[in-house]
Structure formats: structure tokens, C-alpha cells
């Protein structure tokens, strides 16, 4: 056995994090760990992610000083098919978060071309060290031996009950005795364990080019879905150059266009970089109000066609981050803080999946991996006899700003997901990311500020009170509402939640001290997150 690799991993479930930690103990690197954790999350976080979903991985290889982003998000299907969608194949469900209800569409016509399995294989193949069967083994054990349902899984099961129990296959997994699994029960994915073992032997082409791919497409040809064999065979994991920008004395690497999230995070942080925050400003009135005003300005920028342009105009983000653009945004923020009437309107647009998870890993060699993945809320439709529920990315209003089924076949769907790495003097010092639809960008920029501007520990940075401005309303967790001027945000425009909530995302972060080569981190309490350190 190789000498174990020191490092740390933060994720949304202990079993997910433990799968990654096992790879570090076996001498693997951060990319072995993130791949193993990703496969394990398909079991442990089954309502948030899936081999039938999509995602992104931002990576940094310290030895080569190489930064990269793997784009394995979902693509628009429909190659070789007529685009006919009926109410029987595409219909709404309501998900009640408590203070907010969101509508999502499910059914066969909600399914986009999946990428998650291909993405994890690509990450491991190009950057990992351990054998692929070793990387997949923890997920196989979890699927076959079962995962104990915790409080957070119980909550997601109840939220997504109409989707999880839509089909007989779904009911056999999530309500095997006629009632929905609850906290303390054990979730088994026997068919998925067999599928994982087959993938370990045959690779991802099993899903995209082999007999299983043909079975998928026969199923969709008969049930009104748009997914075709040509969609699957033409799907590729794309390697992109991360969006790179400076904030204070750090450099951030995050998700570039055609995704929307990274550019919006960069914009709001560059706006706020003009404010000289101090550590003692944490949750103080001026800092809270500056963040709210910056969110309003950023959302107003977004409302002027950002989501449509970001997929078509490669120069859009550079244009937004140009000095004159940032200066203009800072002036607008000052107007809002002063209560001037000619400040920009507060508006918002589409975002991304609410059912999303994140994994952060760093190792002693200075490698860093930041992976965010999603299955949307799930379509309710399974690949027969595999245990894989496919995504509902075509049923996410947030992801389809021009209307459902409007993208051309093959086009990557945009997303708010923004797996991020922080560098200082070209050394990775933090890995961060979040789930949470539109709230992803708010969760990430606030966590980054907590780390850099306010000098908070990873635990404090991740689990501090959060806010999110959207469509003229400020949603906020308890702890900061008394600090806000009615002039900036009248009480009628505020929704103050009674406690922290998964609505505000799930930030999982790992930090590293390069001089001592020591690690810390935190999982988001809102989503049952954990951090495991391997010494």
C-alpha cells in the first residue's frame, strides 16, 4: 500500500466525504478523491445528483501550475427527433421550501443529455493515479449495503416526493414498503451497484455508445422524450480555461461562459472590492448594506440580457469586468446606498438547479479540485434496470430563460454552478462551491468575503448568516435583518427566515496553509455537510 496522502475533503454527506478520504489514505491525489466522492454522492446524495445529471469541475495541478475546468453539464437533446412535447410527457410539480414554493417540470421531455458519469471518468483518467475500480468501489459498497437516511435526506425526500414516487421504479427505491423512507431507514440501490461495476469494467461508453445507450434511446423513442442515440454518441466532456480574476490579494478560478454563475460572482466581488472592509465589519450594518446594494446592481446588469448573451458572446464577461464597467456599477451601488431615485431597478433572471451538491478537495501536493454537480430535481424517469434517475434540466425554468425546449440540439445548457478555487501567490489556499439554484452566486461570494475580507475561519465563513436578493425581494436568514436601512430595503421587501435553510445553498469548503501544508474546512450545516482531514 502506498503512503497515504495528506489532504482534506468537504462534501454534503459523510459517506461522500469518506469515499474521497479513502482514496487519500490509499495514496491517491485530490482528483482520485473527488472522483470517488462524486460516484459515492450518486448514492449518498441521490436526490441532489446522479450519473444521469451533469456538472463542472474546476481543477488546479500545482506541479504543472495548470488550471482547467471540465464541463460535463447537460446538453439539449433532439438530434434526429421531432420536437413534440405533450402534457403527458412534460408536466409541473410544486416544491415547497417553507417560505418559498418553486415550480419544476418533469417527465420524459424534461430530460437533457446527461454528462456526470463521463465527467467523473474524464477527471480520473486525465488527472488521477489510482485504478478506476478502486475509485468506484466505495460507491458500489454504499449502493449494495445501503445508506442510513439522515435528517437532511429525509427533508429532501419529503420535498421531492412527487418526483421520487412518480414511477414504479422510483417507488421501489424510495417507498419500498409503501411509505416514503424516513430518517433512520436504509436506502438501497442494488441495480445501481451492478451498473457501477459494469461502468468500472467497460467505462462511460457503456452509457453513451453501448447496448445500454441503445436501450435508453428505445425507451425515449416510445415515451415522448427527446433523447436520441445521436445525442449520446456526440456528447463530449469539454475542457475549458477557467474564468480567472483577482480579488484583494487573491486570484479566483471559477466557471467561465457559457455558464452564467462565475461571471456574476466575479462582477459582484469586483464591485465590492471598492469598499475597504475590515474584519470587525463582519455582519455590521455598512458591510451588510454594501452587499445588498451590490446584489441589486448585479441583478440589474443580469436583467439586461446577460443570460442570453453569456452563451453567445465570449467577450461578455471581459466587458463586464472592464474598469469602466466596474466604476459604473460602483456608482450605482453608491446611489442605492444613498437612497437616490435614479439607482438601477432591482431585477433578476434565471439561475440553476436547486437540487445540487458540491465537493471540495485539496492534497499535500498542492492539487485542488472543486466539483459541483446536479440532477436538477430529477425527471422521475429511470434508465431501465440501472437505478439511474435522469435529470430534468429541460424542466428548470431557471435554465431555460427563452422558454422550454428552445435551445438547438447539442447546445450546452447554461448554469449558475460555479466550482471555485482561490489562489494566493499561485498557491491554492481554498476550494469552495455550493448548490442552491440562483442562490449559488450569493452563497459563494458571501463565503469568499467571509474568508478574505472578514478573516473568518472556514467554519464561520461557510455557516454564517446569508442573504439573497431576487426579483425585488431580499430573502435572509436571521441575524442581519436589524442592520438594514428601510431606505435601502423596506421591510415589505424582506423575507426573514426563522432559521438557516437549505434554500440558501450548501457551501462546502477546504482551506490550506501553504507554508505549513495543513488543512481545515467545513461542510454546510444547512445540507448536512462534513469535512474530513487526512493527516
Is 356 designated active site? yes
Q: How far apart are the C-alpha atoms of 46 and 147, rounded to whole Å? A: 10
CB-based contacts of 189: which residues, under 8 Å, 6+ apart?
Answer: 43, 46, 142, 143, 144, 173, 387
Q: How far apart are the C-alpha atoms of 263 and 95, rounded to whole Å? A: 28
C-alpha cell at 3: 503512503
Which candidate, 338, 343, 265, places its Cα nearest to that of 298? 265
Beta strand 91-96 with 66-72 is: unpaired
DSSP secondary structure letter of residue 75: B
Distances (CA, A) of 272 to 118, 277, 453: 37, 9, 10
Other Cβ atoms closer than 10 A to 175: 15
CB-based contacts of 402: which residues, under 8 Å, 6+ apart?
Answer: 308
C-alpha cell at 142: 454504499
Beta strands in 227-268 (DSSP E): 238-240, 243-247, 250-254
Which residues partner with 101 through β-bridges?
96
Q: What are phi and psi of 468, to 5 degrees?
A: -155, 125
CB 106 within 8 A of CB 166: yes
Q: For residue 258, say if its preceding peptide bond is cis, omega within 30 degrees of 0.
A: yes
Element (H, E) at 35: helix 30-44
Q: How far apart are the C-alpha atoms of 44 and 142, rounded to whole Å? A: 8
Q: How far apart are the C-alpha atoms of 405 and 401, rounded to whole Å? A: 10
Q: Return the residue matching grid coordinates 430535481.
A: 377
Q: Among 356, 357, 386, 420, which one carries the catalytic annotation?
A: 356
CB 372 within 8 A of CB 358: yes
Cα-based angle 166, 151, 177 (whole degrees, multiple of 5): 45
Q: Which residues are catalytic?
A: 356
Amino acid at each position: 500500500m502506498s503512503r497515504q496522502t495528506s489532504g482534506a475533503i468537504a462534501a454534503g454527506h459523510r459517506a461522500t466525504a469518506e469515499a474521497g478520504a479513502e482514496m487519500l489514505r490509499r495514496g491517491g491525489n485530490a482528483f482520485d478523491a473527488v472522483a470517488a466522492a462524486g460516484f459515492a454522492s450518486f448514492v449518498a446524495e441521490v436526490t441532489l445528483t446522479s450519473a444521469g445529471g451533469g456538472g463542472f469541475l474546476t481543477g488546479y495541478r500545482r506541479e504543472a501550475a495548470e488550471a482547467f475546468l471540465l464541463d460535463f453539464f447537460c446538453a439539449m437533446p433532439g438530434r434526429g427527433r421531432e420536437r413534440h412535447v405533450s402534457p403527458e410527457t412534460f408536466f409541473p410539480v410544486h416544491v415547497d421550501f417553507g417560505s418559498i414554493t418553486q415550480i419544476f417540470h418533469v417527465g420524459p421531455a424534461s430530460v437533457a443529455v446527461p454528462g456526470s458519469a463521463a465527467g467523473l471518468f474524464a477527471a480520473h483518467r486525465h488527472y488521477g493515479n489510482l485504478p478506476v475500480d478502486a475509485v468506484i468501489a466505495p460507491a458500489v459498497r454504499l449502493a449494495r449495503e445501503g445508506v442510513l437516511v439522515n435528517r437532511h435526506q429525509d427533508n429532501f425526500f419529503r420535498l421531492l416526493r412527487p418526483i421520487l414516487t412518480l414511477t414504479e421504479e422510483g417507488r421501489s427505491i424510495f417507498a419500498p414498503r409503501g411509505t416514503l423512507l424516513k430518517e433512520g431507514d436504509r436506502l438501497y440501490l442494488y441495480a445501481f451497484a451492478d451498473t457501477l461495476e459494469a461502468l468500472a469494467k467497460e467505462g462511460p461508453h457503456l452509457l453513451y455508445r453501448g447496448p445500454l445507450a441503445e436501450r435508453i434511446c428505445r425507451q425515449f423513442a416510445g415515451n415522448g422524450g427527446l433523447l436520441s442515440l445521436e445525442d449520446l454518441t456526440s456528447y463530449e466532456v469539454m475542457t475549458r480555461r477557467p474564468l480567472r480574476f483577482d480579488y484583494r490579494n487573491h486570484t479566483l478560478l471559477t466557471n467561465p461562459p457559457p455558464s452564467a454563475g462565475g461571471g456574476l460572482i466575479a462582477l459582484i466581488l469586483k464591485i465590492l472590492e471598492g469598499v475597504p472592509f475590515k474584519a470587525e465589519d463582519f455582519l455590521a450594518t455598512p458591510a451588510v448594506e454594501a452587499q445588498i446594494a451590490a446584489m441589486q446592481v448585479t441583478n440589474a446588469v443580469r436583467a439586461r440580457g446577460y443570460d442570453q448573451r453569456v452563451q453567445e458572446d465570449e467577450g461578455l464577461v471581459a466587458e463586464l469586468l472592464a474598469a469602466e464597467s466596474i466604476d459604473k456599477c460602483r456608482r450605482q451601488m453608491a446611489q442605492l446606498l444613498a437612497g437616490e431615485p435614479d439607482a438601477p431597478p432591482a431585477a433578476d433572471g434565471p439561475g440553476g438547479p436547486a437540487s445540487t451538491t458540491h465537493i471540495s478537495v485539496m492534497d499535500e501536493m498542492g492539487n485542488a479540485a472543486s466539483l459541483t454537480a446536479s440532477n436538477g430535481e430529477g425527471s422521475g424517469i429511470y434508465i431501465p434496470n440501472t437505478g439511474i434517475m435522469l435529470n430534468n434540466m429541460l424542466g428548470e425554468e431557471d435554465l431555460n430563460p427563452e422558454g422550454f425546449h428552445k435551445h438547438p440540439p447539442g447546445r450546452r445548457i447554461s448554469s449558475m454552478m460555479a466550482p471555485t478555487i482561490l489562489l494566493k501567490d499561485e498557491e491554492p489556499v481554498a476550494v469552495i462551491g455550493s448548490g442552491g439554484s440562483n442562490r449559488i452566486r450569493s452563497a459563494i461570494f458571501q463565503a469568499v468575503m467571509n474568508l478574505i475580507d472578514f478573516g473568518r475561519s472556514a467554519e464561520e465563513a461557510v455557516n454564517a448568516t446569508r442573504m439573497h436578493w431576487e426579483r425585488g425581494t431580499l430573502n435572509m436568514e436571521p441575524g442581519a435583518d436589524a442592520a438594514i436601512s428601510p431606505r435601502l430595503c423596506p421591510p415589505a421587501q424582506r423575507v426573514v427566515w426563522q432559521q438557516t435553510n437549505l434554500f440558501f445553498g450548501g457551501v462546502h469548503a477546504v482551506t490550506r496553509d501553504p507554508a505549513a501544508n495543513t488543512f481545515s474546512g467545513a461542510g454546510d450545516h444547512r445540507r448536512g455537510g462534513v469535512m474530513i482531514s487526512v493527516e
